Structure 1
């Protein structure tokens, strides 16, 4: 069995741990606490928050964003929730905790209900579920591609 450990580099590991814990309803894995690390325990995964010194410890100093700059989006987690109401709740909690709703919630062409969010340190994540709420249909991919080309 495999378990996913997903880590974010953070300027404030305490605040980020609280934000994600509140938005996703996950408890802190307190046994892993250190001066430069916090983690949340999820079912089959762990969400970690590394303080800035971890760039150096991992040999990634050259890849750290400059002070005051936002890191480019090169990947993002998608957390699959159990139903559309949970996606709606996570989006509302994100805003209430100081994050941003970047898009959605909306129907995807592949039949998921999702929202694209941004945490207080500008990290991007998605929350989604399989299935759509009543009254919503999956848009056709061709229509979406035509919209984006204009």
Structure 2
């Protein structure tokens, strides 16, 4: 028997949840999920799945351990946009809001057009137009 599942949330552990929520909300014009707001969490709707910003206090709440020796990137968020112009425009906007460019907008070998960036806390994300 197969059970259909859907990704509901992707959460980032953040030093400053207000700043990270503000960065992504301002960049992508995301709608806050007000009913889930708490001193250690902010969430926003992004379409099929939502994005959450969890304070480091959430590690204990969830029974998780904060990584202290992780090497390299552990995750990559991808935000899908309607066209190539949006990739270019949002990349420029992200840089103005404090993001760091890893890779300027480029066409991949599989036909996507994307840029790769880091938010102000260093989380990797890309702005993408598939196909």
* TM-score calculated relative to the size of structure 2: 0.88
Q: Over alpha carbons, which structure has the higher Rg?
A: 1
Q: For residues 53 and 128 of structure 2, what CA distance do their matches in structure 1 show?
A: 22
Of residues 41, 46, 52 in structure 2, which corresponds to 1:42? 46
Unaligned runs of 5+ in 1: 132-150
Structure with more helix by fraction: 1
Cα pair distance change 1:41/1:75, threshold 3 Å: same
Q: Residue 74 of structure 2 corresponds to which residue in structure 1?
A: 74
1:24-67 Cα distance to aligned partner (Å, 9 max, x none): 22121111100000011111110100001111222223x3338x
Detail structure 1 runs of 4+ shifted over 4 Å in the superposition.
none
Query: Unaligned 5+ residue runs, structure 2?
Result: none
For 2:68, the equivalent position in structure 1 comes to 65
CA–CA distance in structure 2, aligned partners of residues 9 and 116 of structure 1? 20
Equivalences, count: 127
Secondary structure of the corresponding residue to residue 7 of structure 1? strand
Provide TM-score, normalisation by structure 1.
Answer: 0.78
For 1:15 and 1:71, locate their aligned partners in 2 and report how far apart those are by CA, in whole Å: 24
- Superposed CA RMSD in Å reads 1.8
